Every structure is written in C-alpha cells, then in structure tokens.
C-alpha cells in the first residue's frame, strides 16, 4: 500500500538558516510526488511536484526537492529561510494513472526564529 512518512513533526530554524524537510514514501513503482504548504487558516498550496525527468525539482518561494529512488525519498530544501515560511508542510504521493488520489504524510510544522 502507498504511504508517506514525514519523520519530523516539528522543526524550528533561525531566519536565514538552511532548511531540509524529510519525506519517505512507499510505492510499488515510481510515484508522482508533491510538496504542499499550509499556512494557518489557509488551504493547501502546491510548492513543487515531480513526475519524471530531472530528479532535482525547483518550486515556488525558493524551494527545491530531490527525488532519490534508491532511498525512496523526496526531501524539501531551502537555502535561506524567511520568517514568512513558517507553516505546515505536507509531502504527498499520487498514484500513476488516470487520476491522482493523493496520500499525504502527517506534516511537518516549521517555526522560524527571528
């Protein structure tokens, strides 16, 4: 069965520091992979997605993620965090095929210290 694990429930970083949020997935083939961000009281906004091709994916707001098949991982990174990045981040896997039923991880809540 498909599953997504985000090992870190909470992460706190200082503004300007680098960030890496971990995501591991379980899927029988190469999945479609997504990172979404949710700010308080808001819906989910797509940061980036991986379908095929280059394993390093660039997204919005300066985020990037790297698909590593050998590690079943799709970690999210940002070289320098801004206070406005404080939010909850969700990794998700979608089934290949005609539609994308997303399976989400539990989320990582990011706090940013000034």
CA distance 103 to 3: 7
CA distance 35 to 41: 18
Query: In terms of CB distance, is 36 or 81 closer to other proteins?
Result: 36
Task: Please select the residue that binds other proteins; options are 43, 53, 54, 69, rule is CB under 8 A.
Answer: 43
Helix (H, G, I), strand (E, B) or coil at 71: helix
Q: Kindly state the DSSP code that residue 31 receives in the 8-state scheme.
A: P
Task: Please select the residue that binds other proteins; options are 63, 81, 90, 93, rule is CB under 8 A.
Answer: 90
Q: What is the size of the binding site for other proteins (CB under 8 A)?
A: 26
Binding window for other proteins (CB under 8 A); candidates: 7-15, 18-26, 44-52, 78-86: 44-52
The two beta strands, 108-113 and 87-94, are: antiparallel
Task: Please select the residue that binds other proteins; options are 51, 56, 84, 111, rule is CB under 8 A.
Answer: 51
């Amino acid at each position: 069965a498909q599953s997504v694990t985000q090992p870190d429930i909470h992460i706190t970083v200082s503004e300007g520091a680098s960030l890496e949020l971990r995501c591991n997935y379980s899927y029988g083939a190469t999945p479609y992979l997504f990172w979404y961000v949710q700010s308080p009281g808001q819906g989910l906004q797509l940061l980036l997605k991986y379908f095929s091709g280059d394993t390093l994916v660039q997204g919005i707001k300066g985020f990037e993620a790297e698909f590593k098949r050998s590690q079943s991982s799709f970690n999210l990174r940002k070289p320098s965090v801004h206070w406005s990045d404080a939010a909850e981040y969700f990794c998700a896997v979608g089934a290949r095929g005609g539609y994308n039923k997303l399976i989400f991880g539990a989320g990582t809540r990011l706090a940013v210290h000034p």
